[in-house]
Structure 1
Amino acid sequence: METDNKLEKEAMKVSVVSIIVNIALSLLKLLAGILAKSGAMISDAVHSASDVFSTFVVIIGVKLAGKQPDKEHPYGHERLECVASVILAVVLAGTGIGIGVKGVQKIAGSQTGKLVVPGALALVAAVVSIIAKELMYHYTKRTAVKINSGALMADAWHHRSDALSSIGSFAGILGARMGLPVLDPLASVIICVFIEKAALEIFIDAVNKMIDRSCSDDTVTKMQEVILDTEGVLGIDELKTRLFGAKIYVEVEIRMDPGKTLVEAHDTAEMVHDMIEKTFPEVKHCMVHVNPDIPD
């Protein structure tokens, strides 16, 4: 319980920093986009603003998922984080579509009208955004590795996606200032693609965690090694894992010498249980069943 609270505080600290940075970038890019008449920069500002909303959704989801089991929810509330992620994915997808449609409309209108060339201020804002987002990527990734958080790792790559998005804005604005104004709204369409990609990844990850998908092969292999290294275990008859929100449930059937006493079998099962939960902090519960090792 103390470990979970510590991890939650670490995640909350990073989330607060992320919110502050994204609010500052949103305001900077929106102001620069308006003053410099850059549709790409305004779209990028909306992208950063959506990240603020995304972080709030993640915080709420983590808080709800951390609630203790009760009579109505004896297995806990971890899947509420998945529900929050699905909502987030839908909102992000809607935001991206809106930005993309606006960009396409401007590109189509360029055939009959004259596009405005964005000012230099938009370039400065794009550079600031690229640097800030890349720094946030490294900061968030370092914390994610430290506390073994998949959610934070996903958020880190979201920051990297934003940095790439701002590079697209920079290229579009620069191209527009060099005589190709159509590149500015084209950058908005590119930003739309980045947002849709992020939304799809969030949605797929949430769905996988809601349908009891198993852990990765690498994780299962490491679990098998831990189990087989436990004294008294002669083999593994079955090992099943399932994702439950950000947590993992494990069910394993081990083989033991049939001559062992009930107390000895119980003690070995307890050792397997404790080693799995100690080695893999994301495991919420491990169920161990003992089978006698009877030769065919």
Structure 2
Amino acid sequence: MGLAGQNSKHADRRSEVQRVLLVALGVNVAMLLLKLIIGLLSGSLALLADAMHSATDGFSSLLGLITNGLSDPKPDRDHPYGHDKYEAIGALAIAGFICLTALEIGRTALERITSGLQPLRLDGQELLMLLIVLGCNLLLAGYERSEGKRLNNQLLLADAQHTTSDIWTTVVVLVGLCGVVFFKQTWLDVAMAIPLCLLLIRVCWQVLKTNLPWLVDQIAIAPESIHETAMGVPGVLNVHDIASRGVLGQRVFIELHMVVDADDLPKAHRITELVEDHLERRFGPVRCTIHLEPREYAESTITFQGTHG
């Protein structure tokens, strides 16, 4: 009964998180389109770069929806380890698109510098629209932050932080475009476009740094930490050949070989369950594969060797 109530509460919370992310996705897409249209009509490179930065917010909300939907993924026959890596593949595709766009904007900015700056087709009406965009982003960041605290959801808090970074880039662009409109300083547009392109490339690098280790099955937890946790369980005599992969805090797969102080299978099974429980309490969601071995198989090394005779 208690377990059913807990699962129901978890499901309700996930539904609320999904609702917030849907609102964020709708607002981010609308702001992206507005910036993109104004940027194309006015010819402002800085505004186009800012639109691409806003695109990362929209993609962040979309990936948040996917992550929320897969927060309790169930393996199937064709995907026995779950479906989590689809998120990483999508993130890399998005990063590639943003990086190519940033490079193209940077190339155009350099061309404008060498060929001579042309006046922008920009007036006070476009600036007013950008002020509305800025206000919407401020409201969205506050909404996501308050809901993230209320629901105690790290995904919403992270998305709110991403939206806040977009606010600052929009402020910079808005100040620069005010200089273009009121003081006829066209060079400000190109001057802002180049650092914004560098910012987009930095965002792409962060996406790569976050997702590539996951896709290539890089170690998730130091084997020494797993060894220390497992050896703290009564009845565990030796732990060796340790491997781990996945994302810490989301889902980690752990494999280890273990020697236990047990003469019968039921007792050995109880010890392995205690080890799994200790690992999950320390590292979050884990899926363990534990190979029980006789005492003469004990090894002094604790790192994963990958070879067995």
Shorter chain as normaliser: what TM range?
Answer: 0.7 to 0.9
Distance 1:274 1:61, change over 3 A: closer
What is the correspondence of 1:165-244 to structure 2 with a 5 Å cutoff? 165-176=169-180, 177-178=182-183, 180-215=185-220, 217=222, 221=225, 223=226, 226-234=229-237, 236-243=239-246
Matched residues in 2 for 1:295 and 1:215: separation? 22
Cα distance in 2 for residues equivalent to 1:5 and 1:90: 34
Calculate the TM-score normalised by the size of structure 2: 0.71
Residues 57, 166 of structure 2: 8 Å contact kept: no
Choose from 239, 254, 257 the match for 1:250.
Answer: 254
The answer to whether the Cα contact below 8 Å between 1:62 and 1:81 also exists between their aligned partners in 2 is no
2:245 and 2:254 in contact (8 A); partners too? yes
Aligned match of 1:271 in 261, 269, 274? 274
How much identity, in percent, do the aligned residues show? 24
Rate the CA distance shift 1:244–1:295 in 2: closer, same or farther, 3 A: closer
Q: What value does the CA root-mean-square deviation take over the aligned residues?
A: 4.2
Q: Distance in 1 between matches of 2:213 and 2:299?
A: 39
Q: 1:289 aligns with which of 278, 291, 296?
A: 291
CA separation in 2, counterparts of 1:208 and 1:295?
28
Unaligned runs of 5+ in 1: none
Aligned to 1:44: 50
- What's the secondary structure of 2:94's corresponding residue? helix
Offset, 1:156: 4.7
Check 1:286–1:52 CA distance in 2 against 1; reply closer, same or farther (3 A cut).
Answer: same
* TM-score after normalising by structure 1: 0.73
Counterpart amino acid of residue 24 in structure 1: A
Determine helix, strand or coil for the equivalent of 1:272.
Answer: helix
The one-letter code of the counterpart of 2:168 is L
Tell me, what secondary structure is at the counterpart of 2:233? coil
Structure 1 residue identity aligned to 2:240: D
Q: 1:5 to 1:90 in 2, by over 3 A?
A: farther
Greater shift in the superposed pair: 87-96 or 116-125:
116-125
Report the number of matched residues.
Answer: 288
Choose from 57, 64, 76 the match for 2:82.
76
- Find the residue that maps to 2:255 and give its secondary structure: strand
Runs of 4 or more above 6 Å deviation: 34-37, 293-296
* Distance (Å, rounded) in 1 between the aligned partners of 2:68 and 2:103: 27
Contact conserved, 1:122 with 1:173, CA < 8 A, in 2? no
Give, in angstroms, the shift of residue 130 of structure 1. Answer: 4.9
Aligned mates of 1:41, 1:171 — CA distance in 2: 12
Q: What is the rounded CA distance, in whole Å, between the counterparts of 2:175 and 2:257 in structure 1? A: 57
CA gap of 1:108–1:51, structure 2 versus 1, over 3 A, is farther
